[in-house]
Structure 1
Amino acid sequence: MSLTKFLRSPFLAAAVAALTLGAGLSGAPATAGTVDLGTAPPDLSSAVNPNVIVTFDDSGSMGATALPDDIADEYGYRYYYDSKWNKMYFDPLKDYPPPMRPDGINFPNSNFDAAWRDGICHNWSPSYCYNAGNTKNLGTRFYESFGNETATTNRPNALAADNRTIPSAFRPASGGAFWFECPNRNETNCVLKVVGTATDPKPAPPAPEVLVPIKQRFANWYSYYRTRNLMTRTALSRTFGGQTLDNKVRVIWQTINADFITSTPAIRGRQVQEMTSTWKTSFFNWMFEVTNNGGTPNRRATIEAAKVAERSLSGDNMNPYYYPPLVAGGSFRSLECRQNFHMLVTDGYWNEGDPTTPTPYVKQNSGVTLPDGKVYSVTDPLTTIYWNVAGTAYDSSISNIAFNYWARDLQPTLANKVPAYWADRTAAVTVPPNDPGSVPSVYWNPANDPATWQHVVQFMVALGIAGNLNYPTDYNALRTGTLAWPTPSNNSKPALDDTWHAAVNSRGQYFSADNPTVLVDKLTEILTSILTRRGASTTPAVSTGVLTTTTAGYVAGYDSADWSGYLMAQNIDEFGNLLSTVNWDAGCKLTGGPCPSTGSSANTPAKDPSSRVIVTSSGTLNSGKPFRWTSLNAVQQANLNGVDARGSERLNFLRGDRTSENLTTNPLRKRGSVLGPVVNGQPRYYGPVETLYDDLWPAGAPEMGLPFKSFSKYRTESLTRKERIFLAANDGMLHAFDKDGNEAWAYIPSTLFTNGKLRQLTAQNSGLVPTVDDRPIIGDAYIRGKWRSILIGSLRFGGRGIYALDISDAAATESEGGVAGKVLWEFNALNADGTTNPDAANLGYTYDSANLARLANGKWVVLISSGYFPKTGPDSTIAPAIANQTSLFVIDLDTGALIRELRTPAAVTSYGLSGPEVVNYNRGRDTNIDSFAVAGDLAGNLWRFDLEKPNPADWTVTLMFQTYDGVAANIGKQPISVTPIAFSDAPRGPAKSILLFGTGKYLGDEDRLATGTPQQYLYGIRDRGPGMSRTTLTQLVNQTMLNEPNNRRSVTKNPMLDTQEGWRINLPTLGERNVVTLTPIFANGFAVFSTVIPAGDNPCDPARTGAIIVVDSRNGGPPGTLLDSAFGGSPGAGKAFAGVVVANPPAAGQLGAVNRLGGGSLILPGITPVGGGPPVELNVVPVWRRGSWREALDFTE
């Protein structure tokens, strides 16, 4: 069988791209037609949520109406009423959004003519308030009782004995609301501004926002921000409200006074629970009812907060590490990797009697061996910032308390699996990427937290107060030792410096917030820092299939803290290791600012949003157009507008404009990067032509044109075209980057307007919104009079659609108009107006769903599988979702028109059709004409779609094989989610093939556990031709795969007889499944499978493992004794080595691979064995000595 037979299709070109570019029948219930589809990767669904302990300062000073402290008693002076000097006072250039309810809905705006003295109390828990209806007409009686305390009744909104009244000497005669503009802190030259009569000031250009009317802003400030207590309650509500933190953190809380009235602090009786609706409401009930009375015993409160992490490991939520049983009757776990964070919001210096220090007690001024064996020395210059305190040591300082709860293992019976945090890897030496803490300067850097034992990290927020030190400018001097921390003392400025020191000692952060906007920002920053996690579901793509000194790897992924993305270029060494140096990060180049991934602190200029070449389409043939507001049609504008008519603003946001992220009222989503998260969109390197056609075509075929139009000439010319890296990201775009990481252009599929995903991307509290989330395929086809490179993209859970682009001549036409001309068509289930497209009504969500083919009717076509329908949501109940039939759509590549939809028979339960493989018979000059397609489904069926006859009406669908035994209860237990790959079945003849695939799925939450997963297999099923009866399990030869010592795999060597119709291999580990399409080595008939083994029921071991397995396509046996030689011996009689267990197999995309120069072995960059070591190398590729390495992949006949 010739090479051209199998390497023409773009899917198989992508498989070689893994080498070259590296990257009895029964019915079933209707519900079988839907699938659990997850928004986030199954890996992340098992993420361990951290404990967040919130401490709210309820001291008497929190009733003050001023910041900083030195102005608090100067309410009799005009400058007190100027926000320039009193940061708490009304600022006419700021908005004051109301507090937020747990569900993310804002409280009502206050009323200027009847403003609530405490709007939170009135609108949340009136029964708790003193005189809940107590209001003020701010136009006539603002001055009365402006600064009253709330201590008398220990309830919010109380009328106190001290009703501070604004002096009549300078208040308006009307008694109404006002502010002053004072150039300095004295009484001269202050200008009175009366709310409602003064000109409403506007922000200086460029204006970041349009402010609501000034009376409304003033009323909101008065009711929700006037005092420190009100401001903190409002800020906390806006930080924890909405859905951003739901099911992402576990929360417990306390105040520093009211919760210590009895000898047993209230926090000791509180549970730590997930931020779900019920617990969240309890948290808000507490927060909204905090009053202010008493001193500032912050040290006592910090000790009690930290003691939460030391609690006993009980079988309930009193246990801070508790993880409930996953199945009824199961056992709970105590999660050894759970992190603990304490967030203290305070307005003062600690001022209590010295608390009793805990036992044992590890102090900052004494050397100690830490739980990981590292020695903390008080003479080491690298540790100076921790121990260098002037004067006499103060054992019960808050910095010592923080150090104790960081340096000591708080749960000695739990394994030390808390993830280390490396924010700053800067060092004078090369930092090992897998062990940054081995470099002392990195380990002791306060920006990093190397502690893997159970400990507490402190986040300290001070409200506008200052110590003796200058924050943050003195930080560097403290690190170098040229400045020491002041000696702590009670109720004085050094006590605040000591609070900063506590944050440093615990590897946390200290913030100073002197106004409402800053407070919300800092609290949000804390929680973002807490939630930061990075991950990748795919393996790197590489720039060439032969490993040389210039081979580059392209690594993409996501940061789940803010769902931003990255695409990094790293060189690959001779062993296939990705070098630690990052050459560039495309996310940084789009976003601008410092780029930590490259090790650069210099500011990278951001890509100008207005200059980006971004195009979209109307969804019809040749309808590409710029992604600009005036280019959109009315329906697209309406879809972006939504109910608030902010469509143009959203469009600018999607282009990369950051302005709307920073609005104080109704901001759009805050992004960490303009580049969206790359979850399943494995990068695709595009350079010289990958597909390998010959120039033999049927007589009269257009491809048999003049020599200057031949494929061989086209392929030769492609050797000099400019490279591009195509990347599908969940920012709604397919990006094209050049070899230096600069974005050349991007495309937004039109279906994202229709399904509302583009608008969702901009929503303030949106998490991961799937949009363009699938690896594109690239192939070559002869349409419109010439050979062209075609990119076909699917969307996974981003949409029910496919898009086609002509990417020929990558750099020649990359103006906005030129790129718009690249858009060929889209095939979508919904029309632009949201109505159903009758041609695509049965199209589901497109998971790796497309392939290219050349058919006997003369058409180049795209074959599209009908994909998946979800178990929940509106698409779960529509007719195609419950029909238990699947479809293969045959689309004219030139026009995007449907040629025919091939539907599986209703008598066979079928749902979730996989991507289609295309296969052609060897028929002389017709070697380039495809004959049939094969696809599997999640029910476990393997389907053959015969396309050989010129008339589409004569095309047929045949059931080839079922992975189950025909019993209805077993439908779906061995699902096929990968594209089958056709190999030559030489014993049956040159025109015969055998289809290889594995079973399993990894699509949603129900797939993340190994427990309960049925046995899965790898299969090779012989093609018996059209109209033949289906192959049964009894007609297969069974091979046995075993786990061997040293994390190796063996497979038996049972022969496959010519009378047998294929083979089957068990996957030996519980939960193991094949979810990534295999990589073929056609030169010797070997197939490289990768498998996934979910971590199981312990979220502290979330990283999936798996195996790399090489089998002989002809019998399912091992690759001879090639791996026996590599592994140094045989695993025993009747079997041979066939693979290794690996730590990080891909769960999407395709296995990236490169060929060692000269052949002989295959290297898998980014895939490392369990236990560590260099990337997997398999000596299963023949040594080649011919002119082109690509020829080594040819079949020999």
Structure 2
Amino acid sequence: MSPPALKWEKKMKTGIPAMNRFKRHHLAAAAILLMATSSAHAGQMTFSQTPPGAGAREPAPNIIVSVDDSGSMGWDIPTRMTSLKAAMINTFGNPTAGTKGIIVDDRIRLGWQTMWDNGRYSRPSDQRNDQSTLSAGAINSVKVFSGTHRTNFNNFITSLTPSNGTPSHKMLANVYGYMSTPTGVNSLFAKEPTVTASPYLSCRRSYHILMTDGAWNNTGSASPNAGNYDGTTRTLPDGTTYSTTDPQTGLYRDSFGGSKGTLADWAMRNWATDFQSSLANDVRAIKDVTTAQTVGALSVSTYWNPKNNPMTWQGVTQYTIGFGDDATSWGATPVWDATTDDNYGGDYANLFNGTVSWLDVMSGSDTRRASDLWHAALNGRGKYYPARTPSDLQAAFQDILSNILAQTAKPLVSIATSSTRLTTGAFAYIAKFNSENWTGDLSAYAIASKTGLPSTSATWTASTLMNSTDLSVFNPSTRVVLTHNGTVGKGFKWANLDATQKSVLRNGTSDTTTVGEARVDFLRGDRTKEQRETGGYLRNRDSRLGDIVNSNIWYTGKPLRMDTDYTGHASFRSSNSGRTPVLYVGANDGMLHGFNASTGKEVLAYVPLGAYANLRNFTQTDYSHSYFVDGHPFTGDAYNGSSWKTYLVGALGAGGKGYFILDVTSPAFTDPGTGDSSVVILDNTATTHADIGHIFAAPTLDNGTQSISQQIVKLNNGRWAVLMGNGYNSTNERPVLLIQYLDGAKELKPIVANSSTGQTNGLGAPRAVDVDGNGTMDVVYAGDLKGNLWKFNLIKTSDTNWGVSAWSGDSVCSNSTSCQPLYVAKTSGGATQPITAAPVVLNHPYGGKQVVFGTGKDLIASDRDASSPQVQTTYSVWDKTTYALSGTSVLSSEGSGASISTGRSALVAQTVTSTDSSGYVSTSSNTVAYSLTDSSAKRGWYLDLPISGERVLSNPLYLGESTVLVGSVVPKEAIEGETCDLSSAVDKGYITALNAISGKAGSTPLFGEAAPTATRTAFGTGEFASLTDIKNGRQRAISSDANCTGSDCSTSSNSGTGTGTGGAYCEAGTGCDGPTCPAGENCGGTCSGADCVCNSKLCQCVGADCACTGSSCISSTCGTVIPGAIADLCIPGLFGARTDWRELR
């Protein structure tokens, strides 16, 4: 599958750091966008175990099966009829034996007929109607294939008896008459034929499968006549002309047929007829070949290529099966290639080019009539299957049904609605899932250096590699799969598991050790015990790779320079500069996976402790979908007390509580055999800790380098740790900041924001701030489900003195019911608004920090299903705390007025004012009058999100020049069942860019010069396109999706031709950005002027004439400096106006 074009357009002046492309379904996405709402319910929340809308699907297809019961079906030993019965039972199942074949209940709607119905009297008395015809409402008419209807079909199969001739034309004529049934309860397009009429689903596809063992011999049985339908010029239902003089139609037409017509004429008629003209023509066209294809000397358009099916009307696709010698050869041209049995081989090209014609099957020997089956299949845009043996016959039925199932299972899982994307300079990586069979995939698409757009074909797909039968590509026995046995990391093999894990996999004492071992082997990738295999008893899988739904892709390449160049890290970067890049992503097959980013080969899998509870279920034949490793992985470098390491932190999301940590410093992972694994650092996913819940939050990222997490940090006690919100549904149900140390005893330090239990609450994604730029994090901001924006003070050198800011000097509050947040988000009516995404923080010109955050959640079904969803809001509030240096320490000064207790009345409302014809939205410019002395002055602004159901679920991004970009989303409807409107199961994304301080439009037009004052637009379907090409730093304006109606909108590259001496589009390999940017790679030299990008490690400037050089510019020339504070100094981290393009991949 080709990825939709990434919407990268005009170059922007602002220095926007590289963004990854991400998508999510349950909670926050990655570096910037999307989804959720409503206030929490009392008690524990129930997290869905399937993606929202996963129950929505394309309508089940109508399939009519016509089989030959003529006398010749009694020939051969075993008889052809015996072979037919076996093939159909093995394909469609035998309800009396409890088998389903390859068709699960309710997946198709089936009708059937036979040429004579010779065996009707061997069926139960209530089923002896004539099933050699098709009539609305009859036992053999099209109905949902399950229950009684399934049993009736099986009775039909077993009653088949050979006798009489072969009136094949009648079969197609019956289909024509039956398809013409008008709308009503018996219509093939009714919601449930014979039961419920409406709603009619006009996009439902219809198929006819004709199986015969020889030449037809009774054209008169068909009524009405088809005539030479494929030899007559006509207008198709979509307005396209089928012309008998057009070379494009040469394959389909012939010059014979008379009044009766051939099978090919009937197939063309059934395909070209709009049987339900009162319904919209919205059947989804099949376009497997996307460009014109050379066939012989002819360039065949996609419309007339028989490998495609452009039918959008309610017509019939025709498949044919010829069984036995009389139906598989005709001894003349057009030649069929019996070596390959390829419908597009033999004389296929010559038929198109007119150098060979179809045989006149209306005259001459009966033997030539078998060619009519090939012709009919091409005319009906299906395929012809020559079945020479009983096994060929079964394979034909199964291949046809598999094709039909694939054509009618458009996944909600198209790339735009699946989990996640990540873009680097070389590749766009896209993960997805298929809710039809709960499989997943991860694909790499090469990015063109000139256009910045991904290729239309994948360089590699992980599922293809993992499903390979070549043991050098994928070997279940040698695959590196690790786990934790409750004590230490181990290889995931039966002998290494502890007694509890073995008991879970054996279902206590219900199963044997052999079965338990088979389950472990199954999870490792062995398929010999799948039910389809002889003696198999575990679930059949379509792929070894499970569905990837909410987990974002995380790229780990060579170590990158952090904001502070810590002692020893330069050497660590140097020694790992050639490290193999790996993509990490969680899947709902019980594992975190690591894939070589260049080749796609899996290098690591990890089974967390918390996944074991559902592993047995995953192997069962009645598997019901569960989330496993559905949280977001991220990595970061840390010093563990003796050496530098790269650690991966993973979570289970809705799959379970807690987190795990792996050492991924070296991606040359190996199986430890019976020994311990040094890769597994700790696993806290089977935790009994009362304050650890389900962690959904996507990681907070370094604003300049999006592959560096700001949650793996050094703290003021000199130790390295992971900072996390405790998530939701913990036993205590209260907001807690988790500080998981990575060195020493690796203990966990929780800081409780509010000690009241049972609140249906928890802490979301945290944002850590290094106030003084010394490389240690001083304060952390994070929100909870009750709308509280908490500030945690970690300034002191002992963690016993850390806690929630008490808003009095530098004192803290911890584990109390009286701790006060910075702000409580509430609607205008006073309802609290949940905060799940991390805020973004920047310097305020009067000192202190400006904190920008949005509200909303998407955790439980009612978050999406509310008839009147709660209004959610983007807030920007001023934390007036000032900071000063005292030697090497930071002192904070928090007055009693630093927290905002008066809610919205302390803020200025910004509102939507207009929307232009291109979909760009403008918002108000109401003044926010800040003051250092007036305690009643406004403390920020807010913007209520204008679209019903819209919410902020991902972390806002700071763009520079005080501009923040906030992604929001209206989540897809939780549609269940059949629908023609799969777009309603797609998230609708929006982006809003405002000045964080004033709430007005930014100084630089983010959406291009055509919309200079716009602040907002619709954007995507819940994903976020990279604003910057990570490879070379080129930036482009964001294009609105409002009027995008094509499949490849907004793809202009706007490549500039600048020389590096300035100009808005300086893109000639210099990395320059802005009119005063000096020449040279990455604008090397001194930063001079309002719009330059520095070449130094971090030269971040505030003010028009800031001239900073070096890695840490602390100078009073940079912006406004408040005496006794360092609020606006140029410091490393997140708070200056600019970040250079250092070491971006």
User: Which whole-Å deviations, capped at 9, do the CAs of 1:1113-1166 have from their partners, x for residues lacking one?
Assistant: 223332235147x24255xxxxx20233234332xxx65442488867346799
The 1:680–1:846 alpha-carbon spacing in structure 2 relative to 1, beyond 3 Å, is closer
**CA distance in structure 2 between the partners assigned to 1:246 and 1:1166 by the alignment:** 43
**CA distance in structure 2 between the partners assigned to 1:1023 and 1:240 by the alignment:** 66
Q: 1:553 aligns to what?
A: 428
Question: Could you tell me whether the CA contact under 8 Å between 1:615 and 1:819 is conserved in 2?
Answer: no
**Alignment of structure 1 residues 255-270 onto 2, 5 Å:** 257=117, 261=130, 265-268=134-137
1:900 aligns with 2:750: yes
**CA distance in structure 2 between the partners assigned to 1:586 and 1:855 by the alignment:** 38
Q: 2:442 aligns to what?
A: 566
**Alignment of structure 1 residues 583-662 onto 2, 5 Å:** 583-592=459-468, 607-610=473-476, 612-620=478-486, 623-642=488-507, 643=511, 645-661=514-530, 662=532
Match of 2:262 among 397, 406, 420: 397
**Alignment of structure 1 residues 130-209 onto 2, 5 Å:** none
1:39 aligns with 2:50: yes
1:929 aligns with 2:777: yes
Q: CA deviation at 1:694?
A: 1.6
**CA distance in structure 2 between the partners assigned to 1:825 and 1:56 by the alignment:** 61
1:855 aligns with 2:725: no
SS at match of 2:918: helix
Question: Could you tell me whether the CA contact under 8 Å between 1:800 and 1:846 is conserved in 2?
Answer: no
Q: 1:1087 aligns to what?
A: 965
Match of 1:507 among 370, 377, 381: 381
Q: CA deviation at 1:984?
A: 1.2
Match of 1:1154 among 1024, 1028, 1035: 1028
User: Which whole-Å deviations, capped at 9, do the CAs of 1:190-240 have from their partners, x for residues lacking one?
Assistant: xxxxxxxxxxxxxxxxxxxxxxxxxxxxxxxxxxx9877866764688998
Question: Could you tell me whether the CA contact under 8 Å between 1:57 and 1:345 is conserved in 2?
Answer: yes
Q: 1:1016 aligns to what?
A: 872
Question: Could you tell me whether the CA contact under 8 Å between 1:372 and 1:452 is conserved in 2?
Answer: yes
Which has the bigger relative contact order, CA under 8 A and spacing at least 6?
A: 2
Q: 2:253 aligns to what?
A: 387
- Structure 1 range deviating more: 1007-1016 or 411-420: 1007-1016
Structure 1: 5+ residue runs without aligned partners?
1-5, 62-68, 75-79, 90-224, 325-330, 431-437, 545-550, 594-603, 696-702, 831-836, 870-879, 1131-1135
Q: 2:6 aligns to what?
A: none
User: Which whole-Å deviations, capped at 9, do the CAs of 1:614-653 have from their partners, x for residues lacking one?
Assistant: 22122546x3333344444444444445536434444444
Question: Could you tell me whether the CA contact under 8 Å between 2:482 and 2:491 is conserved in 1?
Answer: yes
Match of 2:922 among 1023, 1040, 1050: 1050
**CA distance in structure 2 between the partners assigned to 1:1087 and 1:21 by the alignment:** 10
Root mean square deviation of aligned Cα: 5.0
Q: 2:988 aligns to what?
A: 1105
1:916 aligns with 2:794: no
1:1033 aligns with 2:887: no
1:663 aligns with 2:530: no
Paired letter, 2:42: A
**CA distance in structure 2 between the partners assigned to 1:477 and 1:1161 by the alignment:** 52
Q: TM-score, normalised by structure 1?
A: 0.69
Q: 2:458 aligns to what?
A: 582
Match of 2:559 among 684, 689, 702: 689
User: Which whole-Å deviations, capped at 9, do the CAs of 1:1159-1197 have from their partners, x for residues lacking one?
Assistant: 673467999973342259999986544226976796437
Q: 1:867 aligns to what?
A: 727
**Alignment of structure 1 residues 714-733 onto 2, 5 Å:** 714-715=572-573, 719-733=577-591
Q: CA deviation at 1:827?
A: 0.9
**CA distance in structure 2 between the partners assigned to 1:429 and 1:1164 by the alignment:** 38
Question: Could you tell me whether the CA contact under 8 Å between 2:211 and 2:323 is conserved in 1?
Answer: yes
SS at match of 1:286: helix
Paired letter, 2:964: F
SS at match of 1:1076: coil
Q: CA deviation at 1:663?
A: 0.8
**CA distance in structure 2 between the partners assigned to 1:1067 and 1:1119 by the alignment:** 18
Paired letter, 2:432: G
Q: CA deviation at 1:794?
A: 1.7
Question: Could you tell me whether the CA contact under 8 Å between 1:1079 and 1:1151 is conserved in 2?
Answer: no
Question: Could you tell me whether the CA contact under 8 Å between 1:46 and 1:1099 is conserved in 2?
Answer: no
**CA distance in structure 1 between the partners assigned to 2:974 and 2:461 by the alignment:** 33
The 1:452–1:959 alpha-carbon spacing in structure 2 relative to 1, beyond 3 Å, is farther
**CA distance in structure 2 between the partners assigned to 1:727 and 1:448 by the alignment:** 34
**CA distance in structure 1 between the partners assigned to 2:962 and 2:265 by the alignment:** 66
Q: CA deviation at 1:748?
A: 2.0
Q: 2:679 aligns to what?
A: 822
Q: 2:189 aligns to what?
A: 320
The 1:763–1:299 alpha-carbon spacing in structure 2 relative to 1, beyond 3 Å, is farther
1:49 aligns with 2:73: no
Question: Could you tell me whether the CA contact under 8 Å between 2:493 and 2:520 is conserved in 1?
Answer: yes
Q: CA deviation at 1:743?
A: 1.9
Q: CA deviation at 1:934?
A: 0.6
The 1:428–1:265 alpha-carbon spacing in structure 2 relative to 1, beyond 3 Å, is closer
Paired letter, 1:731: D
Q: CA deviation at 1:781?
A: 1.8
Q: 2:229 aligns to what?
A: 363
**Alignment of structure 1 residues 227-376 onto 2, 5 Å:** 234=93, 241=100, 245=104, 248-250=107-109, 257=117, 261=130, 265-268=134-137, 280-290=146-156, 291-292=159-160, 299-305=169-175, 310-313=180-183, 318=187, 320=189, 322=191, 333-343=199-209, 354-355=220-221, 363-376=229-242
1:749 aligns with 2:607: yes
The 1:429–1:787 alpha-carbon spacing in structure 2 relative to 1, beyond 3 Å, is farther
Task: State the identity %.
Answer: 23
Paired letter, 2:1095: G
Q: 1:97 aligns to what?
A: none
**CA distance in structure 2 between the partners assigned to 1:914 and 1:323 by the alignment:** 47
**CA distance in structure 2 between the partners assigned to 1:688 and 1:1029 by the alignment:** 43
Q: 2:318 aligns to what?
A: 458
Q: 2:421 aligns to what?
A: 540
Q: CA deviation at 1:492?
A: 6.2
The 1:539–1:309 alpha-carbon spacing in structure 2 relative to 1, beyond 3 Å, is farther
SS at match of 1:557: strand
**Alignment of structure 1 residues 945-1094 onto 2, 5 Å:** 945-948=792-795, 950-952=798-800, 955=803, 956=814, 958-965=820-827, 970=831, 974-977=833-836, 979-990=837-848, 992-1001=849-858, 1012-1023=868-879, 1028=899, 1030=901, 1032-1041=903-912, 1042-1058=914-930, 1059-1082=937-960, 1084-1092=962-970, 1094=972
User: Which whole-Å deviations, capped at 9, do the CAs of 1:162-206 have from their partners, x for residues lacking one?
Assistant: xxxxxxxxxxxxxxxxxxxxxxxxxxxxxxxxxxxxxxxxxxxxx
Q: TM-score, normalised by structure 2?
A: 0.71
User: Which whole-Å deviations, capped at 9, do the CAs of 1:1012-1063 have from their partners, x for residues lacking one?
Assistant: 4343332324446688464523333221235431122222222223233332
Structure 2: 5+ residue runs without aligned partners?
1-15, 121-127, 330-335, 701-710, 804-813, 882-893, 931-936, 1055-1063, 1066-1072, 1075-1090, 1101-1132, 1138-1145
The 1:508–1:1067 alpha-carbon spacing in structure 2 relative to 1, beyond 3 Å, is farther
Question: Could you tell me whether the CA contact under 8 Å between 2:840 and 2:957 is conserved in 1?
Answer: no
The 1:462–1:422 alpha-carbon spacing in structure 2 relative to 1, beyond 3 Å, is same
Paired letter, 1:1019: Y
**CA distance in structure 2 between the partners assigned to 1:8 and 1:780 by the alignment:** 20
**Alignment of structure 1 residues 463-478 onto 2, 5 Å:** 466-469=326-329, 473=341, 475=343, 476-478=345-347
The 1:1009–1:380 alpha-carbon spacing in structure 2 relative to 1, beyond 3 Å, is farther
The 1:617–1:1008 alpha-carbon spacing in structure 2 relative to 1, beyond 3 Å, is same
Q: CA deviation at 1:986?
A: 1.0
The 1:791–1:1129 alpha-carbon spacing in structure 2 relative to 1, beyond 3 Å, is closer
Question: Could you tell me whether the CA contact under 8 Å between 2:460 and 2:600 is conserved in 1?
Answer: no
SS at match of 2:965: strand
The 1:413–1:958 alpha-carbon spacing in structure 2 relative to 1, beyond 3 Å, is farther
SS at match of 2:150: helix
The 1:1050–1:861 alpha-carbon spacing in structure 2 relative to 1, beyond 3 Å, is same
Q: CA deviation at 1:804?
A: 1.0
Paired letter, 2:908: V
Q: CA deviation at 1:1079?
A: 3.2
